[in-house]
Structure 1
């Protein structure tokens, strides 16, 4: 069996597992606090919901950019670099927001790395496609 994408599926799988773990955390806290919808006034549940929500907001487009870079002929090492940076960024964000609702260095670093990953992939894809 042949796969046209050789590198990005690794990061798709890792991020899929991360989002699944975050979703399970939301369910666990909902059961703990007996809340079906929303956060029910529980700051801890609200924070866990936002950690999951933020991942579901940023990870899909980040992975699409990673796949697009691979499909347009990005080097394997570059796909690994961006894929690792995405996964580390998401872990930092989880750590930072998961431990405090206020500003935190891991959270700020995580989103910065994620944004730089998105910017880098976007620019390289455009450069490869239209010669920017």
Structure 2
């Protein structure tokens, strides 16, 4: 058994979300260059929005991917993994776009809900599997 055959869905979403983070990181760096702001946000609203959107992505995605991997290892149905992975990916894109473009709005809330759903469902599945194993 190798890691690709053990975690095929999670590995795909790890790769996709890592690629999604690249332009977010570059956007912060480019704005820093343009504004010559080397630390914090320098009072630049666009830089602050980009930093928070990137930071929120970085704060939420890793834990959901870890929980997703645990759920996949515990035998979660492929449909659940795909639904949760797509929800996370879409949620992060919607949240980022809304935060950077307007700073607030329904898209930001929708993005967080789409992120929180797999953040709750994957560990819930793992805990359910653990209870079932110990019972």
Q: TM class, shorter-chain normalised?
A: over 0.9
TM-score of the superposition, structure 1-length normalised? 0.94
The offset of 1:98, in angstroms, is 1.0
Q: Is the 8 A contact 2:87 2:117 kept in 1?
A: no
Match of 1:115 in 2: 116
Structure 2: distance between partners of 1:63 and 1:87:
11
The 5 A counterparts of 1:73-84 are 73-84=75-86
- Spell out structure 1 runs of 4+ moving beyond 4 A: none
Structure 1: distance between partners of 2:9 and 2:59:
22
Q: Is the 8 A contact 2:28 2:47 kept in 1?
A: yes
Match of 1:60 in 2: 62
Q: Hey, which of these two has a bigger chunk of helix by percent?
A: 2
The offset of 1:53, in angstroms, is 0.4
TM-score of the superposition, structure 2-length normalised? 0.92
**Count of matched residue pairs:** 131
User: RMSD of aligned C-alpha atoms?
Assistant: 1.5
Structure 1: distance between partners of 2:9 and 2:114:
20
SS at match of 1:7: helix
The 5 A counterparts of 1:64-103 are 64-101=66-103, 103=104
- Per-residue displacement from partner, 1:29-66 (whole Å, max 9, x unpaired)? 00111111111110110100001000000001011011
The offset of 1:112, in angstroms, is 1.0
Q: Does 1:125 align with 2:126?
A: yes
